[in-house]
Structure 1
């Protein structure tokens, strides 16, 4: 009798597990795309953390420029990691949640936010750097495919006014996320925004008075890093734009005459210095009394 009960218990447990599996019913198309997105963004995150080169992303290429730019991180964290977490959430929902309207809403909302952010970052790269990252475009294609698939498969249980209200609210959430990113990249969230450091302001003015020159390009990530070191005082730097027509345009004649080959390049007291220079070194090279001013 005990044996029969044990067998019955086993059969009951197996039946319960089978029923649970049937109820789960993973959304395989979305799950597969989400896993592909996770692989792409994980690879981007690892290479960003280790400074390793990417295939199809040679030094000086459009992809390399994107990866080295200020827009490749958010609050000091690789943007690719946020992408990985987004795909991870979509994958989790697609696998764990039951095939109900609630699951679809989660999938659709997260994919909409991910697509909006991806389009925003692509637009930043095109506008500021005149460049796009092939790996980033691959991720954009994946999140777009997920969003389109989910939109086409919108359940019949989501029509009418409630659907429109939910759509507006979700779209508003996506715009809020992009708005916060824009505030961050504009340094509006940085402490002391708009107030120039007196010492950096004095150094920038001194460099201009010494007839120093800071040659750079609008699409050059290292040039932006150089400006970021001066904060609001960067407006006073003796900057020379070498690429007025964008990344694919001709170099400005003043830069050709100066023999500029890489960005940024500083010319101080007739000496050429390539790469990003710390303010302290610029002070030493130009004869600025950095330590005295600091005291």
Structure 2
């Protein structure tokens, strides 16, 4: 220490108080979260099984033809942005497992795991609820996956650090709720078909022609292949001569119009007295009904 010209002692920065130099204490690495890792590993195995079974030409156990599981597997709720939901689930579970086991920063790890698990719970609950409402079906594998991600979420919440990022519970819950609401909004828009482009005017004209010539399209609200048939027409599907055979949902009584027509499967088309129990492309529908389908690329 040396004297200041005015008689005051000083440290290197002119402070009137000498502060001892303290070495920065190293933060101990957080121990792996074995419970969350184990649950995520189980979820990853489950998702991998549900994804790979159809890839190799099979079906998951208990997914017999006509079962709730088979119905959901064939519906649009089994796909997200063109990829199987099970594949998305596999990626989510693997990410949770790796972060829970290897991430050294305890607070950062908790925040990341919380966000991943919360989104997983929200998406899984949405798809399960949508399947129950629209298809009147509940898949045991889907329910098991939902239970797994909920268990992971509860385990993560239970391990919340004393000083978690984002302040208190109120602020963190509010920001998380906003994030989940945005994710669910995007998910609903994707599955509702609101992003479909402008419908080909030929489809609108074909739908009107089918209605005008007495053709009938018999289907059910919970039938995934019927939904696929409508999707081929985009917004013009509202103009199709559609007959709902299950007005009270799956398991309810069949509409009298369908009983009278002898409908025993969906979708069923009756065109010019001929019966077709399959999805039919618009161009073929045009030929079967005598509609002139013009190719816009031809003069």
The one of 29, 36, 39 aligned to 2:42: 36
Shift of 1:99: 6.3
**Aligned counterpart, 1:263:** 266
Normalized per residue, the structure richer in helix is: 1
**Aligned counterpart, 2:196:** 190
* Alpha-carbon distance between aligned partners in 2 of 1:190 and 1:45, rounded to the nearest angstrom: 27
Q: Is the 8 A contact 1:41 1:84 kept in 2?
A: yes
Q: Is the 8 A contact 2:166 2:172 kept in 1?
A: no
**Aligned counterpart, 1:275:** 278
* Alpha-carbon distance between aligned partners in 1 of 2:241 and 2:197, rounded to the nearest angstrom: 25
**Aligned counterpart, 1:242:** 245
Q: Is the 8 A contact 1:199 1:293 kept in 2?
A: no
1:166 aligns with 2:172: yes
Shift of 1:167: 2.3
**Aligned counterpart, 2:8:** none
Higher relative contact order (CA 8 A, sep 6+): 1
* Alpha-carbon distance between aligned partners in 1 of 2:165 and 2:112, rounded to the nearest angstrom: 16
**Aligned counterpart, 1:217:** 220
Q: Is the 8 A contact 1:26 1:99 kept in 2?
A: no
1:63 aligns with 2:66: no
Secondary structure at 1:55's aligned position in 2? Answer: coil
**Aligned counterpart, 1:19:** none
**Aligned counterpart, 2:87:** 81
Secondary structure at 1:53's aligned position in 2? Answer: coil
Shift of 1:180: 0.8
**Aligned counterpart, 2:287:** 284
Unaligned runs of 5+ in 1: 1-21
* RMSD across aligned positions (CA): 1.9
Q: Is the 8 A contact 1:264 1:276 kept in 2?
A: yes
TM-score (ref. length: structure 2): 0.86
**Aligned counterpart, 2:20:** none
* Alpha-carbon distance between aligned partners in 2 of 1:237 and 1:161, rounded to the nearest angstrom: 55
Q: Deviations over 1:143-185 (max 9, x none)?
A: 0111112222322223994442222212221221111111111
Q: Within 5 A, what are the aligned runs for 1:79-118?
A: 79-98=85-104, 100-118=106-124
Q: Whose Rg is larger?
A: 2
